[in-house]
Copies of this chain bind each other. A is one copy, B any other.
Amino acid sequence: MTVDLEFTPKQKRPAGQRCCDPVVYPDVDREQAIRMAEVAKALGDPIRLQLVDVLRKHAGKVCVCELVPLFEISQPTLSHHLAKLRTAGVVDSERRGLWAYYYVIPGALAELSAWLS
């Protein structure tokens, strides 16, 4: 599961041929890859991606009761998606009385965003 930095080619190539230029190592190390993949995975569902889109474009925090009617899924399923985003470190929430307010954690998408561009 970790990058093998001691790599030396073991396989014999057909005589006089090379398949390509010498090995390239990932610039992104395992730690970074795990962090970014966790965020990417959290965004890997259309509903969660739209949720993040709404939260991001809305200044401030959005009440769950405003989110539920936007999607044709049950309230518990929405709650599950929000929990997933929170576990991945993408959003956080705050309770005020009956209502819960969610918001995108500033900078949570920065590393992935930077790597992608």
The chain A residues found within 8 Å of chain B, CB to CB, are 1-4, 7, 9-11, 14, 19-21, 23-28, 30, 33-34, 36-38, 40-50, 53-54, 57-58, 60-63, 65-66, 69-73, 98-99, 101, 109, 112-113, 115-117
Partner of A2, one of B23, B33, B49, B72: B72
Number of this chain's copies in the assembly equals 2
Complex Cα distance A112/B115, Å? 12
Q: Would you call B54 and A24 a contact (CB within 8 A)? A: yes
Q: Would you call B49 and A37 a contact (CB within 8 A)? A: yes
Complex Cα distance A61/B24, Å? 11
Which residues of chain B have C-beta atoms less than 8 A from A36's C-beta?
43, 49
